[in-house]
Amino acid sequence: MIRLRQKSIFRRTLDRYWGVITSLLVINLFFTLTSEYYFTAYNIINILDHSAISLILSIGMVFVLASGGIDLSVGSTLAFTGIIAALLFAADLPILIAILIAILAGMLIGLINGVVITHYKLQPFIVTLAMLSIVRGLALVFSGGNPIIGMPQGFLAFFAGDTLFGNGIFIALGLTALAALVLEKTKFGTYVKSLGGGEEAAFLVGVNTSKIKICVYIISGFCAVIASFLFMASMDAAEPIAGLTTEWMEAIAAPIIGGNSLDGGKAYVVGAILGVLVLSCIKSGLNMMGVGQHYQQIAIGSVIVAAVILDSIRRKL
């Protein structure tokens, strides 16, 4: 009996991502041709640096999307936990303790999201939308509406320290690798995907679906906090209005561009990376061409729609 051999990882990756990879190449080619400064070492490092925050948020979102949910509150969580950490820094708490408390705060927000969604069987959209508003409000209250400027040296050294790239991109890639490992190689990852693909089926084979769902939102909250640290380090400040629109939009859009689906069941971490790169490259390229911020928003929105349409066409093929 001839056994069927598994396709190589390389083939599988190419099968899955040819669309995004092609778009990424086309985008890069276009900007390289239009601007002499685009394809330079300096700018590439710059793009990667800027991708770190989006990437971390996207990774959290990949978990949530895979489970068939959505988390709209990550932008607010980013702002709020940043304010918490900054206040604790200002109160001269040891950096490590302050960081830990901020992380716990983010995970608590995720926990509340998850518990409310599973216990009352509510739509993740509306629950996390409400949480978005609550947490943003808290961030504004705690900070009095003003940014808190000046981060401690140790904090800056770790999260913004310069080797070749900023440390941010390494932290982001580390988290991404960890996420890929969890999603592809553990029971937990399998169950997350099974929730989105068929919650009923998973429940019937004895998966504790509520627990898995709650964990997913906690992971998303955790990622929002780490993204917040990178944001604070790069600005040397905590902003109550950080992550107001683009960050969370990109956090959801990037995984979707990379082939993840709002219907759940898929967890494409590599897709999320590619999606983040698509958005960062477009932003950077438009900047080089001197296109203003306002027009960039229009461009990014259009890219998201185009990506989703392409994906739906691809799925029908």
Partner 1 sequence: MNTLIEMKSLKKTFGGIKAIQNVDLELYAGEVHGLLGENGAGKSTLMRILCGLEIPDKGIIKIEEKPVEIFKPTDAQNLGIGMIPQELILIDGMTVTENIFLGHEIESNKLGFLNQREMREKAMDLLEGLGSGDIDPDTYVGLLPKAEQQIVAIARRIIQGGKVFIMDEPTSALTENETEKLFTVIRKLCSEGKAVVFISHRLEEVLDICDRFTVLRDGKRIVSVENTDQIKKGHLISFMIGNEIEEEFPHTATTPGEKKLEAQNLSFTTSQGVEVKNVNFDVCAGEVVGITGLVGVGKTELAQSVMGLRKLKDGQILINGKKKNINSPVSAVKSGIGYVTEDRRGEGLVLGLKSLYNMTLSSLKKITRFYVIRGYHEKKLGLDYSSKLNMKNEYIDLEVKKLSGGNQQKAVVIRQMMGDSEIIIFDEPTKGIDVGAKAEIARLISSLSKEGKSILIFSSEPREILGVSDRIYVLNNKGFKGPFKRGDLDYKKLMAIEFGEKNAGGAQYE
**Distance of alpha carbon 132 from its chain centroid, rounded?**
16
**Distance of alpha carbon 91 from its chain centroid, rounded?**
30
For partner 1, which is the closer residue by CB, 176 or 228? 176
How many residues bind partner 1 (CB under 8 A)? The answer is 25
Task: Report the C-alpha gap between 46 and 251 in whole angstroms.
Answer: 19
CB 299 within 8 A of CB 279: no
Told to check if 1 binds partner 1 by CB under 8 A, we report yes
Told to check if 265 binds partner 1 by CB under 8 A, we report yes
Stretch that binds partner 1, among 1-9, 221-229, 277-285, 292-300 (CB under 8 A): 1-9
Interface pick for partner 1 out of 43, 113, 176, 194 (rule CB under 8 A)? 194
Q: Which of 71, 67, 59 is nearest to 227 (CA)?
A: 59
Stretch that binds partner 1, among 50-58, 86-94, 192-200, 221-229 (CB under 8 A): 192-200
Interface pick for partner 1 out of 9, 10, 164, 206 (rule CB under 8 A)? 206
Residues in region 169-188 near partner 1 by CB under 8 A: 181, 185-187
At CA 59, angle to CA 223 and CA 8, rounded to 5? 150
Interface pick for partner 1 out of 47, 207, 252, 273 (rule CB under 8 A)? 207
The CB-of-108 to partner 1 minimum distance in angstroms stands at 25
The CB-of-210 to partner 1 minimum distance in angstroms stands at 14
* 124 Cβ contact list (under 8 Å, min separation 6): 64, 69, 70, 71, 113, 117
The CB-of-182 to partner 1 minimum distance in angstroms stands at 9
Task: Report the C-alpha gap between 232 and 238 in whole angstroms.
Answer: 5
Task: Report the C-alpha gap between 251 and 276 in whole angstroms.
Answer: 8
Interface pick for partner 1 out of 110, 266, 276, 300 (rule CB under 8 A)? 266
Q: Could you tell me the CA-to-CA distances from 135 to 90, 168, 235, 257 in Å, in that order? A: 21, 25, 21, 27
Q: Which residues of 98-111 are buried (b: 16+ CB within 10 A; e: fewer)?
A: bbebbbbbbbebbb
Told to check if 201 binds partner 1 by CB under 8 A, we report yes
The CB-of-173 to partner 1 minimum distance in angstroms stands at 20
Told to check if 6 binds partner 1 by CB under 8 A, we report yes
The CB-of-5 to partner 1 minimum distance in angstroms stands at 9
For partner 1, which is the closer residue by CB, 113 or 261? 261
CB 276 within 8 A of CB 254: yes
Helices marked H in 209-268: 209-235, 246-257
The footprint of partner 1 (CB under 8 A) covers 1, 3-4, 6-7, 181, 185-187, 190, 193-194, 196-198, 200-207, 265-266
